[in-house]
Chain A
């Protein structure tokens, strides 16, 4: 089964609203990463948060990590139509492979 599980699977909001996606994982990690994928294309790295960090910001993105709950959240503020995409969390344990969750499909309505 997947190491990371995103919630919700799909999210539809109005432009300008904030979007929050959550990711839960099962085992201890070195870092957690968030990626975006526009329809049928390659993934784009958004942000990486290390296991000893609790919060990180990048532009309109805010990521939190709670290692005690084994969960992370991605907040996109003031959403735009261009934010419409699928968002994936990915975890790496030591030198092992990067494991992706199933993703959250975000739709921003004009």
Chain B
């Protein structure tokens, strides 16, 4: 089974621009979560989608948005980029069955640099 894939792997943008990151989950997984990882804040939860519905949301401004498609693929969008948005953005998929066996499988991440 193919793992979680994220595109692009690296991205350089300038302040004020917007960016869209893509995540393809493991086949059969219906849940996709997004995380932002920075040296200062560590791993911060962004949002979680299940069957095209946002199930949970982290404490990020409205500039951060996401969606999930019927094939479980997910995208996240960041508008009006700020220098502080430079980070590794990680996507994780799971079967979506909340509870004790809900293991997350992570993609390699997208490294976003905002200049």
Contacts and interface: CB of A to CB of B under 8 A. Distances in A.
Interface centre among A41, A42, A90 (most CB of B within 10 A): A42
Contact of B56 (A35, A51, A97): A97
Sorting the interface of chain B by its residue count into under 10, 10 to 19, 20 to 34 or 35 or more gives: 20 to 34
Interface string A86-110: 0010101011111111110000000
A42 B90 contact: yes
Contact of B100 (A31, A42, A44, A96): A31
B31 to A, nearest CB: 11
B106 A43 contact: yes
Interface in B22-42: 33, 35, 42
Interface stretch (B12-20, B61-69, B73-81, B107-115): B107-115
Contact of B90 (A30, A43, A103): A43
A98 B109 contact: no
A34 B49 CA distance: 22
Given A41-B108, A42-B107, A48-B103, A102 B42 contact: yes
Interface in A49-107: 50-51, 88, 90, 92, 94-103
A42 B55 contact: no
Interface string B87-115: 01010100000111111111111010000
Question: Which 10 A-B pairs rank lowest in CB-CB distance, beginning with the nearest?
Answer: A42-B106, A100-B43, A95-B98, A43-B106, A97-B56, A97-B45, A102-B42, A42-B108, A50-B100, A31-B100
Interface of A: 2, 30-31, 33, 35, 40-45, 48, 50-51, 88, 90, 92, 94-103
Interface of B: 4, 33, 35, 42-43, 45, 48, 55-56, 58, 88, 90, 92, 98-109, 111
